[in-house]
Amino acid sequence: MPPHRCGGVNIRRAGAGDLAAMMAVERACFDDLRYSRDIVLFMLSDEDFSSFLAEEKGVIGSACVHVSGADAHLVSIGVVPDTAAGAWPRPS
């Protein structure tokens, strides 16, 4: 799947080589409920998952979808809070 540009944001498919970037989004967006490194690597490597990164002068977000037959489920979505895209207050 080729990258897609939306305004100044590049959205592209993520793979196992993007583990560090995906984990950076997990750490920035989720506290105790974030996925472990092993689970994120599995989602990046397994053919039933589609993972994506949003980039604008660095990674600003990620999403992961699990596809099974005609069904698709959003597994994770995060927008890094300290970016323009994530410039809203974090819940306390």
Phi and psi at 31, nearest 5°, equal -85, -110
CATH of the domain at 73: 3.40.630.30
Q: Look at residue 64 and tell me if it is in a domain.
A: yes
Predicted local distance difference test score (pLDDT) of residue 85: 57
pLDDT (0 to 100) of residue 84: 61
Q: List per-residue pLDDT tens for the chain, 92 residues long.
A: 677 887 788 999 999 999 999 999 999 999 888 999 999 999 999 999 999 999 988 899 999 999 999 999 999 999 998 766 555 454 55
Domain residues for the domain of 34 are 4-81
Give domain status of residue 54, yes or no.
yes
What is the DSSP secondary-structure string of 22-88? HHHHHHHH-STTPPPHHHHHHHHH-TTEEEEEEESSSEEEEEEEEEETTEEEEEEEEE-TTSGGG-S
Q: How many domains does the chain have?
A: 1
For residue 91, tell me if it sits in a domain: no
- Specify if 73 maps to a domain: yes
The predicted structure's pLDDT at residue 82: 75
Predicted pLDDT at 4: 82
What are the tens digits of pLDDT across the range 64-82? 999 999 999 999 999 998 7
